[in-house]
Chain A
Amino acid sequence: MAAAVDQALLDLLPQIHALFSDPLRVISYKWLSRNFCVSSNDAKRLLQEFVNKHGTDLQVIYSVSGWLKNNPQNYCVKLTSGPNLKVIYGSVFLLTKQEFKDSCSIQIYSVQASIPKDTAVLWNPEFVQAEELFNQPFDKENCLRDNRFCGILNSFVKRTSSGKHVSSLPPKPINSAAAAALSKPSIIPKEQAQQENLPGPSIPKEVIGNKAEKNNSSALVKGSNDSVVKESSTSDHASKNKAQNGKAQPGNGGSLATMWGRASAKPKPPTTTNSTAAASVAATADAQICAKEKADANSSDDEQGVSYKRGSNGANNRKRRAVFDFSDDEEEENVISIASPESPAQLAPNPVAEASEDTKEYQKKLESKQDKPNSVKDCSKRMDSDIFSEHNAKSANTTNHSGITLKEKSTDPPMDDSKKDQTVAPASTSPKRRKVLKTRIDERGREVTEVVWEGEAAAGDKAEKNVGNADAGSRATLPSKPQPASNTDKSKASSKSAAGSKRPAKAGAKQGNIMSFFKKV
């Protein structure tokens, strides 16, 4: 069992341990799954691992299920408490007389300080969680609505929000920007093609994104086209998505690997925040959860895969993640690039704004992801998007304009608004940081728009960004890709000095938020 648990999962153990500072706490595998954004199967493994290490003074409840001996047509699921079981080398055995035929399934269900008299206690925390997810706006995707953490994929389960069919390709189905991007399908392929052609590596931030994009570009192009052309045939999407995922993986490998490395390495620092987050804070908690998910490959996989498939496989998940990110990038990029290459000086306000929004959101997501979990960039887009969107909505209402300042070129007012809103969200999550949208015209006369984080880490970021911009300018297509690049950049940055500086700051900010939340609670 122990070997089966990812390091990323094991890193969550201290957080779980911290949760039990509350003697009334009941942690079921599903609660754990939702709280840390890991698949429920992983959550069970994690919980078992936790029990193996720290479970001496805790009571464990197992779910036992199988075909009954005396009634072979009856599949029975029941609960058994720890004393009836024995754990030997991580495997659990039933001590009581076997009423089940053949082998039965014995899986950990929950861990608590004492066996509750009323089993509703086991269910309550889960239901509170479910209710919070349920009460989110109808167009939000979350793990309740797409069942992303289960062990069974359904290729027909698509994420549909507010009547929009969410194709697997667009990571942010909810975003209007994505839709807008889709509205101009003809342009997209060109841009992508351009992006593909780009040499890439010279720019620090964007480089990574570009590489990934390049690798994926062919897949992405297909994907984007598909999404644009036929959203109706989900099955097609699914298959295509799969294909894309497969393609994306090899290309992404480098950047992803770095991300994974981070994920495993980083999760520990956020643990404190996570543990606090475990208290189940709606908005901020979600964001952190997403981050955590990022840290956990499995969880992230599920999230991303949710729209079409929910896989517990880490590999699949990773692939999916990568694809999604790219797709997101593509969309965003497409939007941006559309604005820049075709109409260099004059940008169509809407597309630009949307693009900027998308990019910002994306970056925000990425940053937030990176910041919070730090580890994995991949955190499921949808989760992120959901969370972010939530944050955005909330933040937009409360704290506007804190985030983005436009420099050089003043884009159209609508853009500003959208940007502000989106920026607000990140600001809310990490108040100290701000996203700055920089727009300028490069030597070729193309408009380059970049989102830069300003704030504590701003110095490093700006430096990087500036360099990147210069490079980007030379390679007209860059602007379209900044988002993915930013993601990768961030991941890289985090690995590098700049990233390192950013993360702690963000983490601190988030922690502050969370703490405030807890105080309220």
Chain B
Amino acid sequence: MPVPMTMERKQAAYTNLRLAAFAICRIRGTPSRGRSTKGQQYSHIYFTRLHHMRNLLHALVPSWKPQVPVTTVLGLEEGKDCIIVGTLYKHMKLKPSILDEYSKERSAIPLVKPHNFMHPDDHLILEDESGRVTLAGAIAPAEYVTGVVLALRGKETSAGNFLVEDVLEAGLPHQTSLSAADEDKYVVFVSGLSVGSATFNPLQFQFLIDHITGHLGDENEQSIASKIARVVVAGNSVHISPRFLNGQMVASKDQSRIAEPIKELDIMLTQLVASLPVDIMPGCHDPANFSLPQQTIDDLYKYSDAKDRLEFMERTLRWRHLAPTAPNSLGCYPYTDKDPFLIDSCPHVYFVGNQDKYETRLFEGPEKQKVRLICIPRFSDSGVAVMLNLRNLECSTLSFSTSFDA
């Protein structure tokens, strides 16, 4: 009798590096600085963002253009070569506005919903505390979005625009060295489970769980599964019918129906957590807090252009900002004392969930930073989960099919 092999699951140390990064620092009954949330404006986020980024960019300018003076928008002089630092605003013709909807009968602009809101007439405006100026020249509006902080070298034209000759982005931050595992250990990323949706296939999800937990397959397969040290559930784990989310009172008989997907997810995750650590991240369709934007890359896709989703991710790294379009077109909490989405140090793995397809690339920065970019596909559509090897940051996929071979 072959003695069944006893496999031990690989363990990986875990430290939460940004425990309080997104904390909303308010204690009930002690309004911060005497102000209440009610009147809180989003200007503080832009202010802190500009302040922080300008310090970074000013430090870079001497090595970038040592001879060129730095000025403000208000201090621009026509024809004089200079550098200005400020926040971009992207004027978009097709960007939906609540006012347009309000007056749609008389609006000349069609209220179509294209895949994004790009238009050839879009242009960029740079602003700082002193003023704002329209940009022209060597800066492509399609690549940028509102909220990005840049340093621009150029000169003011007679028309009052700023003719851009060079663009300086903050670039990838410093990357700490990675204490890579000396053996194969995997982290599995899964996203878009959408339990309760029409596309959710419970058997498929069960396969994933059974594979990870070491039920499925022979010894070879289970030895692979035993190297999975962690699972990250990256958003949109449940799907709740939108008809329950219309602000109306929910009938008691419907309340259980709302809870059903969550309970089912609970049962499934119970099996998973009995085997290894699991992180659950909220998605934009999860019953989670609205305070933190969950669809940052998707929003970039609406307001800018790139050859693939990975390029959007690269840009956010170069801009040093996870969610530049918040709070402009992405909802988030009106932080007053910080911009929590600034990227202080370069990550080693940067993933985005709920994408149409699986993509991955190793992005290398000028200082030899190496970032594994991953687009995690929606599991309910694709049946694909992503397996990241902690030893070398190589990626592979797990795909699960429940249809029979012909």
Whether A105 pairs with B397 at a CB distance below 8 angstroms is no
Q: CB of B252 within 8 A of chain A?
A: no
> Which residues does chain A contribute within 8 Å of B222, judged by CB atoms?
41, 151-152
Interface residues of A in 117-131 (CB under 8 A from B): 119-120, 122-123, 126-127, 130-131
Known: A152-B7, A152-B214. A65 touches B267 (CB 8 A): no
- Distance in Å: Cβ of B110 to nearest Cβ of chain A: 43
Whether B8 pairs with A65 at a CB distance below 8 angstroms is no
Total contacts A to B, CB within 8 angstroms? 162
Whether A151 pairs with B405 at a CB distance below 8 angstroms is no
Whether B213 pairs with A152 at a CB distance below 8 angstroms is yes
Chain A interface secondary structure, helix, strand, loop or mixed? mixed
A33–B214 Cα gap in the complex (Å)? 13
* A interface footprint on B187-225 (CB within 8 Å = 1, 0 otherwise): 000000000000001110011001101111111111011
A298–B165 Cα gap in the complex (Å)? 73
Whether B213 pairs with A150 at a CB distance below 8 angstroms is yes
Whether A74 pairs with B275 at a CB distance below 8 angstroms is no
Closest to B1 in A: A4
Chain B interface secondary structure, helix, strand, loop or mixed? mixed
Known: A3-B1, A152-B8, A154-B9. A105 touches B215 (CB 8 A): no
> Which residues does chain A contribute within 8 Å of B225, judged by CB atoms?
152
Whether B405 pairs with A77 at a CB distance below 8 angstroms is no
- Distance in Å: Cβ of A113 to nearest Cβ of chain B: 16
Q: CB of B271 within 8 A of chain A?
A: yes
> Which residues does chain B contribute within 8 Å of A93, judged by CB atoms?
none
Q: CB of B398 within 8 A of chain A?
A: yes
> Which residues does chain A contribute within 8 Å of B3, judged by CB atoms?
313-315
> Which residues does chain A contribute within 8 Å of B201, judged by CB atoms?
119-120
Known: A115-B404, A120-B202. A74 touches B396 (CB 8 A): yes
Whether B401 pairs with A78 at a CB distance below 8 angstroms is yes
- Distance in Å: Cβ of B328 to nearest Cβ of chain A: 38
Interface residues of B in 385-406 (CB under 8 A from A): 387, 395-405
A130–B216 Cα gap in the complex (Å)? 17
> Which residues does chain A contribute within 8 Å of B267, judged by CB atoms?
127, 130-131, 134, 144
Whether B2 pairs with A74 at a CB distance below 8 angstroms is no
Whether B274 pairs with A311 at a CB distance below 8 angstroms is no
Whether A84 pairs with B405 at a CB distance below 8 angstroms is yes
Whether A152 pairs with B220 at a CB distance below 8 angstroms is no
> Which residues does chain A contribute within 8 Å of B271, judged by CB atoms?
130, 144, 147
- Distance in Å: Cβ of A4 to nearest Cβ of chain B: 5
Whether B215 pairs with A151 at a CB distance below 8 angstroms is yes
> Which residues does chain A contribute within 8 Å of B401, judged by CB atoms?
76-79
Q: CB of B226 within 8 A of chain A?
A: yes
Whether B274 pairs with A157 at a CB distance below 8 angstroms is yes
Contact among A3, A76, A81, A298 for B4, CB-based, below 8 A: A298
Q: CB of B11 within 8 A of chain A?
A: yes
Closest to B224 in A: A75
Whether A78 pairs with B400 at a CB distance below 8 angstroms is yes
Interface residues of A in 130-181 (CB under 8 A from B): 130-131, 134, 144-147, 149-157
Contact among A66, A81, A154, A313 for B275, CB-based, below 8 A: A154
Whether B8 pairs with A107 at a CB distance below 8 angstroms is no
A315–B5 Cα gap in the complex (Å)? 11
Contact among B221, B400, B404 for A80, CB-based, below 8 A: B404
Whether A152 pairs with B216 at a CB distance below 8 angstroms is no
> Which residues does chain A contribute within 8 Å of B4, judged by CB atoms?
39, 41-42, 151, 298, 312-314
A33–B402 Cα gap in the complex (Å)? 21
Interface residues of B in 222-259 (CB under 8 A from A): 222, 224-226
> Which residues does chain B contribute within 8 Å of A103, judged by CB atoms?
220
Whether B220 pairs with A40 at a CB distance below 8 angstroms is no
Whether A107 pairs with B217 at a CB distance below 8 angstroms is yes
A115–B405 Cα gap in the complex (Å)? 12
Q: CB of B37 within 8 A of chain A?
A: no
Closest to A84 in B: B405
Q: CB of B276 within 8 A of chain A?
A: yes
A130–B267 Cα gap in the complex (Å)? 7
Q: CB of A73 within 8 A of chain B?
A: yes
Whether A156 pairs with B214 at a CB distance below 8 angstroms is no
Q: CB of B270 within 8 A of chain A?
A: yes
* B interface footprint on A90-112 (CB within 8 Å = 1, 0 otherwise): 00000010000001011100000
Closest to A135 in B: B267
Q: CB of B6 within 8 A of chain A?
A: yes
- Distance in Å: Cβ of B379 to nearest Cβ of chain A: 13
Whether A152 pairs with B9 at a CB distance below 8 angstroms is yes
Known: A81-B405, A107-B216. A312 touches B224 (CB 8 A): no
> Which residues does chain B contribute within 8 Å of A41, judged by CB atoms?
4, 222
> Which residues does chain B contribute within 8 Å of A313, judged by CB atoms?
3-4, 6
Q: CB of A309 within 8 A of chain B?
A: yes
A423–B2 Cα gap in the complex (Å)? 42
> Which residues does chain A contribute within 8 Å of B9, judged by CB atoms?
152-156
Interface residues of B in 274-321 (CB under 8 A from A): 274-276
> Which residues does chain A contribute within 8 Å of B219, judged by CB atoms?
151
Known: A74-B399, A152-B225. A79 touches B6 (CB 8 A): no
- Distance in Å: Cβ of A494 to nearest Cβ of chain B: 26
A41–B7 Cα gap in the complex (Å)? 12
A145–B270 Cα gap in the complex (Å)? 6
Q: CB of A63 within 8 A of chain B?
A: yes
Q: CB of A464 within 8 A of chain B?
A: no
Q: CB of B78 within 8 A of chain A?
A: no
> Which residues does chain A contribute within 8 Å of B224, judged by CB atoms?
75
- Distance in Å: Cβ of B400 to nearest Cβ of chain A: 5
Q: CB of A214 within 8 A of chain B?
A: no
Whether B214 pairs with A73 at a CB distance below 8 angstroms is no
Q: CB of B166 within 8 A of chain A?
A: no
Whether A119 pairs with B203 at a CB distance below 8 angstroms is yes
Q: CB of B266 within 8 A of chain A?
A: yes
Interface residues of A in 36-79 (CB under 8 A from B): 39-42, 61, 63-66, 73-79
> Which residues does chain B contribute within 8 Å of A312, judged by CB atoms?
4-6
Known: A74-B397, A156-B11, A309-B8. A6 touches B1 (CB 8 A): yes
Interface residues of A in 444-481 (CB under 8 A from B): none
> Which residues does chain B contribute within 8 Å of A63, judged by CB atoms?
207, 216-217
Closest to A119 in B: B402
Known: A131-B267, A134-B267, A154-B276. A77 touches B217 (CB 8 A): yes
Interface residues of B in 1-54 (CB under 8 A from A): 1-9, 11
Whether B217 pairs with A152 at a CB distance below 8 angstroms is no
Whether A152 pairs with B404 at a CB distance below 8 angstroms is no
A312–B2 Cα gap in the complex (Å)? 11
Closest to A116 in B: B404
Interface residues of B in 85-144 (CB under 8 A from A): none
> Which residues does chain A contribute within 8 Å of B213, judged by CB atoms?
147, 150, 152
- Distance in Å: Cβ of A313 to nearest Cβ of chain B: 5
A41–B3 Cα gap in the complex (Å)? 11
Whether B405 pairs with A78 at a CB distance below 8 angstroms is yes
Q: CB of A241 within 8 A of chain B?
A: no
Whether B7 pairs with A153 at a CB distance below 8 angstroms is yes
> Which residues does chain B contribute within 8 Å of A66, judged by CB atoms?
221
A156–B11 Cα gap in the complex (Å)? 9
Query: What are 23 residue pairs bridging A and B, where the CB atoms are less than 8 Å apart in the complex?
Result: A29-B215, A30-B210, A40-B215, A63-B207, A73-B396, A74-B396, A74-B398, A76-B399, A77-B401, A79-B404, A127-B267, A145-B270, A145-B274, A146-B274, A150-B213, A152-B226, A152-B275, A154-B9, A154-B11, A156-B9, A313-B4, A313-B6, A314-B4
Using a CB–CB distance below 8 Å, which chain B residues touch chain A?
1-9, 11, 201-203, 206-207, 210-211, 213-222, 224-226, 266-267, 270-271, 274-276, 387, 395-405
Using a CB–CB distance below 8 Å, which chain A residues touch chain B?
3-6, 29-30, 33, 39-42, 61, 63-66, 73-81, 84, 96, 103, 105-107, 115, 119-120, 122-123, 126-127, 130-131, 134, 144-147, 149-157, 298, 309, 311-316
Given A61-B404, A75-B224, A312-B5; 13 other pairs, CB 8 A cutoff: A65-B221, A74-B399, A75-B397, A78-B401, A78-B405, A81-B405, A122-B203, A134-B267, A144-B270, A151-B222, A154-B8, A309-B6, A314-B4
The 3 closest A-B pairs by CB, nearest first: A152-B214, A147-B274, A312-B4
